[in-house]
Structure 1
Amino acid sequence: MDYKVVFSALERVCQENISVLCGPSDLPYGTVTKRLVTSMKQIQEHGRALEPMVASFSSIYHHYDFDAQTPGNGYRTLVKVLQSCLLHIVHKGQYIASNYSGAFFRAEHNAAEMEAYCSALCQLRALLYLAQRLIHDNEHGQLYIQQDSDLNRSFVQEYSSMHKACFYGRCLGFQFSPALRPFLQTIIISMVSYGEAYGKQQSGIGTAALSLLTSGKYVIDPELRGAEFERITQNLDMQFWKSFWNGHGFTRIASNPVQVNFTLTVPPVPLRLPLASDPRLSTTVSPPIAHWGPGPVHMRLVSYDLREGQDSEELLGFSRSDPPPISSRLPWIQEQPRSPWLLIHFHGGGFVAQTSRSHENYLRNWSKVLGVPILSVDYSLSPEAPFPRALEECFYAYCWALNNCQLLGSTAERVCLVGDSAGGNLCITVSMRALTSGIRVPDGIVAAYPATLLTTDASPSRLLTLIDPLLPLGVLAKCLNAYAGSDFQTIQPADRRGSLSALGRDTAMLLSDLTQGVSNWVQSFLDPSRTSGGSPSPRGNHIRRTSTDLAFQNSADSIHYPDGFEPLRSNCPAFVNPTSCPVMRNPFVSPLLAPSSLLRGLPPVHIVASALDALLDDSVMFAKKLRAMEQPVSLTVVEDLPHGFLSLSQICKETQFASDMCVARVREVFLQENTRNALPKDL
């Protein structure tokens, strides 16, 4: 929608509400009326200041796109998010103006809604000022600030001090597809309920039960939910995030049944692989050794069909299941020939959480749709296993799969690496390792919203970490520092085989049931057509600035906002440890920083990113870098979805479409040989 139309509608609805609410003296609600008028006047002021800023962005942000057919970068996203906020305000304002005098008008509820969106608009205005600084300080077309810039430090400082709770309460998920909002509300309520019980002397079941009992207050009080989520994302430790996300996987979402689904443990023995330049020669690939010496690598084999080799005694000897999980003797199971294709998968989770099992729901579907066996690697997680352990294990798994493809039900004529987020990073860096080792590189990479720059450097899309419920900067920085080894725990994990980490299996199942079952309950409470329950919530959206805040704002690296404007400040400032560790600049950690010599020779890279993802600029800049080197690369940007959309692929049609885009890119990798090797028709 044209931004001029949006701002015109905003000005009109604000003026209409102010006229209505300041009109007859016999209007009801008294104090509530004053709150609504105050919010409308503040929104009007923000809108008038923002329109020329948006006009400025609209005139230049096409310069930062990958190409004319792929509009997408952080500047576009900031304007898109702002317009979403404005449209919500216009819609709510129209309702208030038309129904304020009605007998069933919920004055308190609507006043709180408008105050929340007013606060959100204030913070988005601050983000656009930060984005203006990025444009001013960066080279033309560059999305990232250079290393050690004052603006990078200011970005972290602003995140640490700015108020964020409004984005996690009534305004939660306004920027995403409407179909996802109930799910996001469920996740946030589960998280804050679990956070309240976290650290208390409770058994696993006790923690989960307490979370269930306390979740109700966060359903009926959005302000309390937002404030608590802000506290959790700002200052809770890494173990909280590991235990929560490992216990709240999406494996219970319905997915296709498969004939083969079991885990493997591959012992740490050296492998011999032929050189790509001369297959008569070979090289040795050592097992992973970083931090605690040689250790086994864990994997999961998923296949919709039982294929030749998958029920062999040799393969089942690697199985961790007892008894072996496959019985090809069942009369209705027909063994299929080996597939010419093999898909190797590295899961996401910020290098600190989740497993192949937590991503199993979409892998099962992919195996059916593509007709391909999938090997998903359960690499060791940080902070117990920082870089380069995960990379070593994924590279070793790739090499083992090449040597043992016949056991996996494949001839490996075509091999594709696929991963999301941290897994996308590992797809790229494993391929770089293959190049430097001189062995066969995969035939293609499909990376969904990959992390290619593992630093807290500022970019326009990184500004979204202020409002993103799934990837706040505080959490992102903790994950990145854990992978870099800043929080390295010098012990070998006792057991990485389960998907539940610090939680027991029974606890995780109960928490998973909570996440699944509470959604309808949440929706019924949050439905605007219902009567509001409970006592009025505190006006947590309007955070007053203390003397400490003022001192913070006046520090040397602070952002200077225009006279008369300041963003709202948090009552619980975050401590964000910037990713300053030199390891972060290692090209095998941040492939965006890799020299051309390490990237030239990569297979075709297909990136599927989201316009609303804080890591969008990672994808855009990495795709641009490969294109500048004349490396084969494609970039697809889907709309209205958060980071991690693959794990949500069966939640709504939008996430399913994004998953289908990834499948299409995988199929393109598998079929490209037919085009590349086809002979001209006249020969």
Structure 2
Amino acid sequence: MDTKAVFAALYSVCEENATFFSAGGKVSQADSAKRLVESMKLIQEHARSLEPVISGFAAIYHHFDFDPLIPANGYRSLVKVVRCCLLHIIHKGRYIAANRRSIFFRAAHNAGEMEAYCSALCQLRALLYLAQRMLHDNSHGNLFFQDESGLSESFIREYASMHKGCFYGRCLGVAASSFFTSGKYAIDPELRGTEFERITQNLDVHFWKTFWNITETEVLSSLASMTSTQVKVNRALSVPPVAFDLPLAANHRASATIAPPSAHIGIAPIQMRLISYDLREGQDSETLLSMSRSEGGAISLSLGLKTKRLPSSPFLLIHFHGGGFVAQTSKSHEPYLKSWSQDLGVPILSVDYSLAPEAPFPRALEECFYAYCWALRNHHLLGWTGEKVCLAGDSAGGNLCVTTCMRAAAFGVRMPDGVVAAYPATLLTAYASPSRLLTLMDPLLPLSVLSRCLSAYAGSEPQTEKQVERVSTLSLVKRDTALFLRDFRQGASNWIHSLLDSNRGSALQHPREFPLGFEPLRSDQFAEMKLQSSPVFKDPFCSPLLAPDSMLKGLPPIHIVACALDPMLDDSVMFAKRLRSVDQPVTLCVVDDLPHGFLSLSQLSKETKEAANVCVERIRAVFLQDTPPEPRKHRKLERTDRGVSAPSGERGSLLVGSIEEEEPAVGREAKSAVGEDSVSVTAQNNTDAGGVGA
């Protein structure tokens, strides 16, 4: 259904319901009927203002795509979210029209639902106005406003005061994927959303570190181990920090000295994890055993009496985990890494780099580069012949994959054969972009949290957390609970102080960003946002999108897997454009309707599993292709539309099209309100003696 048809259906259903309830409807529910009429009229008002804005975006947002075959950028994502909200409203409006005469019709409940969607529509309208200004002020085809004053400052100011709780209540499904829409909401979801916003917006980075690491508690970790793929080798390593030489890529007779990491916390062992579905030569050697570290008093090496030792694999995958540079370890990502080791048939070395704020930039990069070079030099210990190596990482790990390659180029040592980066962070500045506007509705990656993580990585976050020694399961649960409650109290304290500070200068004194007569909903409390101007953010090894052309030339083929509803989508699109502009081999795939961090959710749904498989296919392509793929012809995926035809030039690898796509019916089911497209992955069934077969 095209734009005009969507809005026509919305106006029709709202008008019909407003007329019915204005005429009296049910006298016993007069109060609720009045609320329904008011919300229906307000929805119509928002829609009339939104219709020309959306039509305007639909006419130009193809200029910001990476490729005509991959229609994806922050402008498209914002329009898609608005479209999703409109379809939900139409669906709900038709439900009300069909059931309003029933004795079982709950007018108060339905009035609450329509008011919730009305609030969400109001805030989305505000986001589109901000996106309009970005479109006006940005250079042609550029998704980022590359200045930390002016537009970027306005965006942060508006974010700090805008109400966000409406996206965390009934309308969670509007901002998230269909994966999240099936959950049953608790009683009074609006109150829950408001409370969630109040508590989480100003928690410090240590709370999120604890929250994101919750899967590493003994109980949850043991549960994950039981349900995930069983592998022969899962060994935590502590590699001694010793300098060594590596031959130069251009001249094997010369060498570069690789010194152990030393930034911030001094010289210390580098932590890694070796995962291998099969036991291979060297993986049970005395040398490797001497580097093994215990986890909970045991070393994980599942070997039977008749375990067969396979020859070394020609392939190695080196993995850098995500977690905003402040949280998680290889343990958090262990479930999908075990699955990858089985699917690809290759050993995986995952690096447990030191985390901020205790170890800010460039410590993590130093450790990842050292681990990469150590793997090249000690391939015989890893069950690898030393032939082909691929780097893979998600979010912060994707950033470290790219910057590790840049560091390898700077040292002149061998490059990886390819990089697979899932939803990577390539620009760590506060520059505004349309996809960054999605942080307003992302409960797990709000802008206030993102800014704190980046500040910690830049070294400007206060270090108040102390390392706590691992103890028993019960003590660990008590410790984590205490930390959790402590951080909630600290968050409440921060909220009170920020509220007092904000009240000293009213938000109404700020320059106006919206048309006269419109004002978004404002929060009772302000998110504590500081515009960071640290030069660290602009370091190319911190923000590779800002790297000069000379640093990007010569990088290995880079395969980016991004998310359409990810606040960092524009990072991926613009970085892919930069690489293509310097003739670097690059592919971009955008998966639809999944949140940032889908790899950690890969075992929870069919959609996340399929998206994780996309990453596996990209890794397999790196190992099996002798020559880099051409940037614009590398297509491993086919899209299937169930009876839906997209306009010419609007088909993408996984991204569901645009607002103009036709649809058999509007809001027939809640499912149809979220999207009608499905994804099928066409895998190459290649086999190899060393693994990587499908």
Name the structure 2 match of 1:232: 199
Name the structure 1 match of 2:371: 397
* Counterpart contact for 1:175–1:640, Cα < 8 Å: no
Which letter maps to 2:230?
A: P
Structure 1 residues 649, 30: closer, same or farther in 2, change over 3 A?
same
Residue correspondence of structure 1 range 170-209 to structure 2 within 5 A: 170-181=170-181
SS at match of 1:416: strand
* Counterpart contact for 2:228–2:339, Cα < 8 Å: yes
Please tell me whether residue 284 in structure 1 is matched to residue 257 in structure 2: yes
Please tell me whether residue 244 in structure 1 is matched to residue 200 in structure 2: no
Name the structure 2 match of 1:303: 276
Please tell me whether residue 649 in structure 1 is matched to residue 602 in structure 2: yes
Structure 1 residues 563, 381: closer, same or farther in 2, change over 3 A?
same
Q: CA deviation at 1:509?
A: 9.6
Please tell me whether residue 573 in structure 1 is matched to residue 526 in structure 2: yes
617-626 or 100-109, which deviates more = 100-109
How far apart, CA to CA, are the structure 1 residues paired with 2:504 and 2:135?
27
Name the structure 2 match of 1:107: 107
* Counterpart contact for 1:263–1:299, Cα < 8 Å: yes
Structure 1 residues 401, 496: closer, same or farther in 2, change over 3 A?
farther
Which letter maps to 2:384?
A: S
* Counterpart contact for 1:358–1:499, Cα < 8 Å: no
Name the structure 1 match of 2:355: 381
Please tell me whether residue 11 in structure 1 is matched to residue 11 in structure 2: yes
Please tell me whether residue 223 in structure 1 is matched to residue 176 in structure 2: no
Name the structure 2 match of 1:621: 574
Residue correspondence of structure 1 range 364-513 to structure 2 within 5 A: 364-489=338-463, 494=467, 505-506=476-477
Q: CA deviation at 1:551?
A: 3.5
Q: CA deviation at 1:496?
A: 8.9
SS at match of 1:613: coil
Q: CA deviation at 1:3?
A: 2.0
* Counterpart contact for 2:234–2:273, Cα < 8 Å: yes
* Counterpart contact for 2:236–2:299, Cα < 8 Å: no
SS at match of 1:174: helix
| TM-score normalised by length of structure 2 | 0.83
Which letter maps to 1:506?
A: V
How far apart, CA to CA, are the structure 2 residues paired with 1:510 and 1:42?
44
* Counterpart contact for 2:277–2:347, Cα < 8 Å: yes
> Could you tell me which of 246, 255, 277 is aligned with 2:228?
255
What is the CA deviation profile of residues 130-189 of structure 1, one whole-angstrom value per residue up to 9, with x for unaligned ones? 000001001110100012330100000000000000000111132433233457x8xxxx
Residue correspondence of structure 1 range 628-667 to structure 2 within 5 A: 628-667=581-620
Please tell me whether residue 44 in structure 1 is matched to residue 44 in structure 2: yes
SS at match of 2:444: coil
What is the CA deviation profile of residues 168-216 of structure 1, one whole-angstrom value per residue up to 9, with x for unaligned ones? 0111132433233457x8xxxxxxxxxxxxxxxxxxxxxxxxxxxxxxx
* Counterpart contact for 1:380–1:496, Cα < 8 Å: no
SS at match of 2:453: helix
Extract unaligned runs of 5+ from structure 2.
Answer: 483-501, 630-694
How far apart, CA to CA, are the structure 1 residues paired with 2:456 and 2:439?
18
How far apart, CA to CA, are the structure 2 residues paired with 1:452 and 1:435?
18
Which letter maps to 1:585?
A: K
Structure 1 residues 148, 174: closer, same or farther in 2, change over 3 A?
closer
Please tell me whether residue 266 in structure 1 is matched to residue 248 in structure 2: no
SS at match of 1:143: coil
How far apart, CA to CA, are the structure 1 residues paired with 2:131 and 2:11?
24
* Counterpart contact for 1:130–1:559, Cα < 8 Å: no
* Counterpart contact for 1:429–1:588, Cα < 8 Å: yes
* Counterpart contact for 2:278–2:310, Cα < 8 Å: yes
How far apart, CA to CA, are the structure 2 residues paired with 1:68 and 1:324?
50
Structure 1 residues 301, 13: closer, same or farther in 2, change over 3 A?
same
Q: CA deviation at 1:323?
A: 5.8
* Counterpart contact for 2:61–2:76, Cα < 8 Å: yes
How far apart, CA to CA, are the structure 2 residues paired with 1:497 and 1:425?
29
* Counterpart contact for 1:645–1:655, Cα < 8 Å: yes
What is the CA deviation profile of residues 10-53 of structure 1, one whole-angstrom value per residue up to 9, with x for unaligned ones? 11111111111112465431111111111100000000110000
How far apart, CA to CA, are the structure 1 residues paired with 2:440 and 2:356?
24
SS at match of 2:256: strand
How far apart, CA to CA, are the structure 2 residues paired with 1:255 and 1:72?
33
How far apart, CA to CA, are the structure 2 residues paired with 1:245 and 1:504?
19
Please tell me whether residue 31 in structure 1 is matched to residue 31 in structure 2: yes
SS at match of 1:417: strand
What is the CA deviation profile of residues 511-545 of structure 1, one whole-angstrom value per residue up to 9, with x for unaligned ones? 9xxxxxxxxxxxxxxxxxxxxxxxxxxxxxxxxxx
Which letter maps to 1:630?
A: D
SS at match of 2:291: coil
SS at match of 2:389: strand
How far apart, CA to CA, are the structure 1 residues paired with 2:519 and 2:20?
29
* Counterpart contact for 2:130–2:513, Cα < 8 Å: no
What is the CA deviation profile of residues 585-615 of structure 1, one whole-angstrom value per residue up to 9, with x for unaligned ones? 0001000000111111100000000111000
How far apart, CA to CA, are the structure 1 residues paired with 2:375 and 2:469?
20
| TM-score normalised by length of structure 1 | 0.85
315-324 or 410-419, which deviates more = 315-324
* Counterpart contact for 1:151–1:458, Cα < 8 Å: yes
* Counterpart contact for 1:311–1:327, Cα < 8 Å: no
Structure 1 residues 455, 95: closer, same or farther in 2, change over 3 A?
same
* Counterpart contact for 1:308–1:409, Cα < 8 Å: yes
Which letter maps to 1:390?
A: A
Which letter maps to 1:244?
A: F
Which letter maps to 1:378?
A: D
How far apart, CA to CA, are the structure 2 residues paired with 1:455 and 1:105?
50
How far apart, CA to CA, are the structure 1 residues paired with 2:255 and 2:69?
43
Cα RMSD for the two superposed structures: 2.3
Which letter maps to 2:81?
A: V
Extract unaligned runs of 5+ from structure 1.
Answer: 186-217, 512-546, 677-683
* Counterpart contact for 1:316–1:324, Cα < 8 Å: no
* Counterpart contact for 1:478–1:577, Cα < 8 Å: no
Displaced runs of 4 or more, over 6 A:
495-500, 508-511
Which letter maps to 1:102?
A: S
SS at match of 1:29: helix
How far apart, CA to CA, are the structure 2 residues paired with 1:549 and 1:310?
63
What is the CA deviation profile of residues 216-238 of structure 1, one whole-angstrom value per residue up to 9, with x for unaligned ones? xx932312211121123321111
Name the structure 2 match of 1:552: 507
How far apart, CA to CA, are the structure 1 residues paired with 2:108 and 2:26?
18
Residue correspondence of structure 1 range 108-123 to structure 2 within 5 A: 108-123=108-123
Name the structure 2 match of 1:592: 545
Name the structure 1 match of 2:292: 319
Count of residue correspondences: 602
* Counterpart contact for 1:470–1:642, Cα < 8 Å: no
How far apart, CA to CA, are the structure 2 residues paired with 1:323 and 1:47?
61
How far apart, CA to CA, are the structure 2 residues paired with 1:319 and 1:33?
68
Please tell me whether residue 672 in structure 1 is matched to residue 625 in structure 2: yes
Which letter maps to 2:54?
A: V
How far apart, CA to CA, are the structure 2 residues paired with 1:135 and 1:28?
49
SS at match of 2:186: helix
18-27 or 350-359, which deviates more = 18-27
* Counterpart contact for 1:354–1:499, Cα < 8 Å: no
How far apart, CA to CA, are the structure 2 residues paired with 1:8 and 1:550?
42
How far apart, CA to CA, are the structure 2 residues paired with 1:602 and 1:655?
29
> Could you tell me which of 571, 582, 592 is aligned with 2:535?
582
Q: CA deviation at 1:469?
A: 1.4
Q: CA deviation at 1:498?
A: 10
* Counterpart contact for 2:318–2:349, Cα < 8 Å: yes
SS at match of 1:219: coil
* Counterpart contact for 2:470–2:476, Cα < 8 Å: no
What is the CA deviation profile of residues 259-281 of structure 1, one whole-angstrom value per residue up to 9, with x for unaligned ones? 11120001111021111111111
Q: CA deviation at 1:645?
A: 0.6
* Counterpart contact for 2:398–2:420, Cα < 8 Å: yes
